[in-house]
Amino acid sequence: ASLLGYIGIDTIIEQMRKKTMKTGFDFNIMVVGQSGLGKSTLVNTLFKSQVSCKSSGWNREEKIPKTVEIKAIGHVIEEGGVKMKLTVIDTPGFGDQINNENCWEPIEKYINEQYEKFLKEEVNIARKKRIPDTRVHCCLYFISPTGHSLRPLDLEFMKHLSKVVNIIPVIAKADTMTLEEKTEFKQRVRKELEVNGIEFYPQKEFDEDLEDKTENDKIRQESMPFAVVGSDKEYQVNGKRVLGRKTPWGIIEVENLNHCEFALLRDFVIRTHLQDLKEVTHNIHYETYRAKRLNDNGGLPPMTVETEENLVNNL
């Protein structure tokens, strides 16, 4: 029984909320996959705005870039007084070549460079109160809706990168498959990831308690990889405006769960796991990078540009 009634410890949540509202927060999302899988459109759909650059669609005359070019575009999105600095990192040219050997390397390098930047700021004597966060919190990996199996490139990429970043596999343009094909393909992809020992987000070993485990198991065993359709076009359906794709036999409603799993992906990335994506990035991926870097270097950051370049390249 309480002696003096209410103390007010619960106001801590409101205090934290106020602080966060003032500073806003960063969220950096990377999209990877072959051209033509609707990556830009999907990100636009997720955040209901034109957030991704149209750079990933080349004019016919232009040559496809020989290498992966990484483009980061920042936006501030505000909703209900909450400010989010969203950065979309696009990787045009990924997997488009005839020979895609090691084409994931520039992406891995980019991810590590962001950890390096953060580490540098952190070990400064006069460090900033709030280090700008450019670390990649989430990588949406787009799988082609072939209905067969994953390409060696897909496995190779996810194998290498699942160790350094949170990978969320999505099946793009899912409206090209029938429901049966979709269900089968999802199961096959899950099986292949498991057989190849690829851990996608949310990783089993980071579940903190039983509640997390139960919730995440459901996602891992049923939802993943999310089979999605993106669209930034609006249509009228039964008097309601909906985002959708018009086909000869009707409109595929992006947010209708009977039509596609876009809403599941959005709720997962934004409404239930956004903070966790940030925490896993900071506490696991960044921490691993940091420990390795400081170990290799006797606990001190490098003094010169040369040693630093060697280190980044050797990682």
- Give the Cα separation of 99 and 76 in Å (integer): 37
At 93, the pLDDT band (50, 70, 90 cuts) reads confident
Residue 217 lies in a domain: yes
Do 140 and 29 form a contact (C-beta atoms < 8 A)?
A: yes
Cα–Cα distance between 254 and 207 in angstroms, integer? 30
Write out the H or E segment, with its range, that includes residue 306: helix 305-314
Q: For 100-129, how does the pLDDT look when each residue is reduced to its tens digit (9 = 90+)? A: 889 999 999 999 999 999 999 999 888 888
Tell me the three-class secondary structure of 67-116, residue by residue.
Answer: CCCCEEEEEEEEECCEEEEEEEEECCCCCCCCCCCCCCHHHHHHHHHHHH
**10 is a domain residue:** no
Pairwise pLDDT comparison (50 vs 22), residue with the higher score: 22
The pTM (predicted TM-score) of the whole model is: 0.88
User: CA distances (Å), 87 to each of 31, 215, 224, 267, 287, in order?
Assistant: 11, 28, 24, 19, 22
Other CB atoms closer than 10 Å to residue 191's CB: what's the count? 12
- Supply the CATH number for residue 158's domain: 3.40.50.300
Per-residue pLDDT tens over the stretch 132-148: 999 999 999 999 999 88
Please indicate, yes or no, if residue 197 is contained in any of the structural domains. yes
Position 244 in a domain: no
Stretch 3-19: mean pLDDT, rounded? 88
Q: Is the pLDDT score of 56 beyond 50?
A: no
Kindly report whether the peptide bond that precedes residue 132 is cis, defined as omega within 30 degrees of 0.
Answer: no
Q: What is the pLDDT of residues 260-309, one digit of tens each?
A: 899 999 999 999 999 999 999 999 999 999 999 999 877 666 555 555 56
Q: How confident is the model at residue 63 (pLDDT cuts 50, 70, 90)?
A: low
Domain count, the chain: 1
Secondary structure element (H or E) that encloses residue 148, with its range: none
Report pLDDT for 145. 93
Position 5 confidence tier, pLDDT thresholds 50, 70, 90: confident
Tokens of 280: 């896993």
Is residue 138, in this structure, part of any structural domain at all? yes
Please give the span between the terminal C-alpha atoms of the chain, in angstroms, as a whole number.
57
In a domain, 103, yes or no: yes
Average pLDDT of 186-203? 95
What does the block give as tokens for 237? 């359906």
Range of the domain at 285: 22-51+67-230+260-292
The verdict on residue 106 lying in a domain is yes
62 within domain boundaries: no
Residue 134: per-residue pLDDT: 96
- For 29, list phi and psi in degrees, rounded to 5: -120, 130
